[in-house]
Amino acid sequence: MNRMELRKRLAGTLFLSAMLDLTDAEYCVARGEGAGMVQLGTMIVAPETDEYAPYRQRWSRTFLPTDRAAMCAQLQAEVAAVRVALGDTLCCLSLAGFASEDVVAAAESFWRAGGDFVELNVHGGLQPWASQGYLLGMARPQYRQRLMAWAQALAALEIPLVIKFNTRLDVDLARVLHDLRHVPVWGYHFNVRDPQIRLPRYEFVSRIRPLVQGPLLCSGYAWTAEAAQRLFAAGADSVGVAEPVMNDRHFILKLRQELGS
């Protein structure tokens, strides 16, 4: 499937957005009915050293094996489970790491496993990554060159690249996209939740849409048909849901039916 066809497949769909240590294949299969796309992960690649042992223990299902053969085997099993249960539903890997070569290896493995596209997650706040300019910190000006290098390395692969940001950051995201304009990033995913009013930031989506040449994914408090419709009207290609699906495995299907799609 080429990138234009992939975007057409995404258009107007709902997707199951990744949640750290929760959205593995089993979870996605159980709750992905009605979704145009499901996200595995966020999965993290990190050295198997004592420094990261507490995080590996707490988020045991989040860390991919560092051994390449084991990494490939795990991703192949995850993608295969989604394909068997959900058929034509697109499959994305939300990915993070501590070294660009590890992230690239995971993205390549996911592509070989039959995944559709990969998302570099510059959104989560898991320590110690955030304090060292990874995940949440990578969008900040002092770490922008690292983001550029990682994006270039991933965008050079065959698998389409999406980058995820959080709109709650005190960062000029329009400037970030401007800095990335020469990198062939396929699309962007923004968490647009406004925690004060518990609604999406519709105005942000309208402002950022002209700056995104490829698909625009939006998630965050899109928990009603009205919210999803407003995000689509603002320019989102696909709208993601996460938290409500934890308590209602049919939430996405019901929301899709309310949208009449």
For the chain, which residues make up each domain, given as ranges? 3-259
Averaged pLDDT for residues 231-252: 97
Looking at residue 170, what is its pLDDT?
85
Looking at residue 143, what is its pLDDT?
86
- Residue 136 vs residue 211, higher pLDDT: 211
Rounded to two decimals, the pTM is 0.95
Looking at residue 116, what is its pLDDT?
98
Q: How confident is the model at residue 157 (pLDDT cuts 50, 70, 90)?
A: very high
Identify whether the C-beta of residue 56 lies closer than 8 Å to the C-beta of residue 21.
Answer: no
Identify whether the C-beta of residue 76 lies closer than 8 Å to the C-beta of residue 136.
Answer: no
> What does the pLDDT look like over 73-132, one tens digit per residue?
999 999 999 999 999 999 999 998 888 999 999 999 999 999 999 999 986 656 666 666
Residue 29 has pLDDT above 90, yes or no: yes
Class of domain 3-259: alpha beta
Q: How confident is the model at residue 172 (pLDDT cuts 50, 70, 90)?
A: very high
